[in-house]
Structure 1
Amino acid sequence: MKTTAKMAALALSLIATAASAQAVRTEKNMSLELANQIAAATVAACAANNHNVTAAVVDRAGTLRALQRADNAGPHTVGAAQGKAFTSASARANTSAMLENVQKNPGAQTLVDIPGFLVLGGGVPVRVGNEVIGAVGVGGAPGGHLDEQCANAGIAKVADLLK
């Protein structure tokens, strides 16, 4: 009987040790320096195509880390960029793919009702490997597909830092 009790105690101890090891996580996240580099590169990419935009970069939790607005970007582009970045970080997906899903799938149409979500093209997650560390959102180009192109160009400019 004592051997069974000792084995049970050992098993519970091992389970508790494994559970506590999973209690603390290590996650990659967006630094301020990286966020500023992405925002600047994104605005520059759009400016090269004569689009005055705002770029918002958020961390993995959707919290704003950097915001840059081109001189002639409209005031509405600030909120649009932040909304797209938050939505992309939260869903860990491109907002253009989410928009397509909302348009084609009646079950997904209520995504637009989530507070803070802006389901329009122009939000792109920033990844290190398969891990999303944040997102960039762009507002102001004449179409979400163009906003997304600028976001992708901004991320591409810092690709060597995302390893």
Structure 2
Amino acid sequence: MNESMAVSSYVISAKAASLACEAAVAKAEALGIRINVAVTDASGTLAAFLRMPNAFLHSIDIAIDKAYTAASFGFPTADWPKVLESDEALRIGMPHRPRLVVFGGGLPVRVGDALIGGIGVSGGSAEQDAECAQAGIDALLKLG
């Protein structure tokens, strides 16, 4: 095969995706909230999901879409207001795109400079969701 026609990529492992979900749930328990947490691979395809008992049902899709958004663009969903503020066309159009979430709780997952996925949490405030998502990433960093 012609190497100029292909690129290498990294994919989050099932073990890592599961570990990130479990760590996010542990953080939610410490905060006294109930969450849904999703991890996607870099293409935005769901790799792992956990729903705490009695977490909001509507938050299932929100968590998945936060992970999808973070993986799709490679930056935290909480950064969208800054991105949108300087471009009126983006501000008007982007929030209406399906699956795009423009508030906190979604973070990209990286190994060095390589984007390997996204993690999204929904069920608490945007800040609590982001804190739980970061706990998931922190657990992955300990894997080394």
Q: Do both share a fold (TM > 0.5)?
A: yes
Q: Whose radius of gyration is greater, 1 or 2?
A: 1
Distance in 2, matches of 1:103 and 1:152, equals: 25
Distance in 2, matches of 1:45 and 1:76, equals: 20
Is 1:112 aligned to 2:95, yes or no?
yes
Distance in 2, matches of 1:38 and 1:153, equals: 8
Is 1:70 aligned to 2:79, yes or no?
no
Residue 121 of structure 1 is matched in structure 2 by 104
Distance in 2, matches of 1:47 and 1:22, equals: 48
How many residue pairs are counted as aligned between the two chains?
143
- Measured after TM superposition, the shift of residue 94 of structure 1 is 0.1
Residue 11 of structure 1 is matched in structure 2 by none
Residue 79 of structure 2 is matched in structure 1 by 97
Residue 12 of structure 2 is matched in structure 1 by 30
| Secondary structure of residue in 2 paired with 1:52 | coil
Distance in 2, matches of 1:106 and 1:44, equals: 40
Deviation by residue 1:103-126 (Cα, 9 ceiling, x = unmatched): 554243122122221222100000
TM-score with structure 1 setting the length: 0.81
Distance in 2, matches of 1:104 and 1:149, equals: 27
Distance in 2, matches of 1:75 and 1:140, equals: 9
Identical aligned residues as a percent: 32
Distance change in 2, residues 1:145/1:108 (3 Å): farther
Residue 118 of structure 2 is matched in structure 1 by 135
- Measured after TM superposition, the shift of residue 72 of structure 1 is 2.1
Distance in 1, matches of 2:142 and 2:25, equals: 19
TM-score with structure 2 setting the length: 0.92
Amino acid at match of 1:75: L
Amino acid at match of 1:123: G
Whether the aligned pair in 2 keeps the contact of 1:57 and 1:67 (CA below 8 Å) is: yes
Residue 29 of structure 2 is matched in structure 1 by 47
| Secondary structure of residue in 1 paired with 2:5 | coil
Distance in 2, matches of 1:77 and 1:125, equals: 19
Unaligned runs of 5+ in 1: 1-16
Amino acid at match of 1:50: G
The 10-residue stretch of structure 1 (101-110 or 124-133) with the greater mean CA deviation from structure 2: 101-110
Residue 63 of structure 2 is matched in structure 1 by 81
Amino acid at match of 2:67: A
Distance in 2, matches of 1:40 and 1:27, equals: 25
